[in-house]
Amino acid sequence: MTPSRKPARRKPAPSRSAAEQEALRATAFRTSRRHNAAETEEDYVELIDDLIRERGEARSVDMAQRLGVSHVTVAKTIRRLRDKELIQYEPYRAIFLTPKGKSLAERCRGRHQQVVDFLTALGVSTRAAEVDAEGIEHHVSAETLDAMRRFTRERRKGS
């Protein structure tokens, strides 16, 4: 009557290298979730760094505009980043990076550029490369980043 009358007890799992495979997949999901969580703070410090370079200071109104988000969201997030000692600011004043924040920002900036360069070298348009990199950059392992760098260098030399 109901669409399924399947048993509620577990079938014995296919017993090849199954356990390892399962574990690897669960790890992949967990890793991805962890990276998603770190994404916001990486984006914020990177953006603050950009703004300081471009106009000498970072202000929440500009951050909100660039992120495509309300200023309230920015306010809430930067409070959290301050608690984590990545940034520092006084009420109604501009935002600055702590040394810790600055080093994170620099790492992110480098990685971001590498991903963009890689995608471009692969033949992706500047526009798409910029958009995709924003999503991808937080999920590339050191190993993959290295392979990307190698490819970019070769491709440039070759052409």
Partner DNA sequence: CATAAAGTTTAGCCGAGGTTACATTATCAT
Partner DNA sequence: ATGATAATGTAACCTCGGCTAAACTTTATG
- Closer Cβ to DNA, 52 or 67, answer by number: 67
How many residues bind a copy of itself (CB under 8 A)? The answer is: 68
Q: 138 near 36, Cβ under 8 Å?
A: yes
Position 114: which residue type? Q
- Closer Cβ to a copy of itself, 113 or 141, answer by number: 141
First to last CA, the chain: 65
Which position among 62, 74, 101, 111 is part of the footprint of a copy of itself (CB under 8 A)?
62
By the rule CB under 8 A, 139 interacts with a copy of itself: yes
When CB distances are held under 5 to 8 angstroms depending on the partner's kind, the choice from DNA, a copy of itself, none that residue 152 binds is none
Closest CA to 112 of 53, 159, 49, 52: 49
38 φ, ψ to 5°?
A: -75, -15
Closest CA to 48 of 33, 67, 35, 32: 67
- Closer Cβ to a copy of itself, 87 or 104, answer by number: 87
CA distance 126 to 130: 6
List interacting residues with DNA (CB under 7 A). 5-10, 33, 37, 39-41, 59-61, 67, 69-73, 75-80, 89, 91-94
- Closer Cβ to DNA, 95 or 121, answer by number: 95
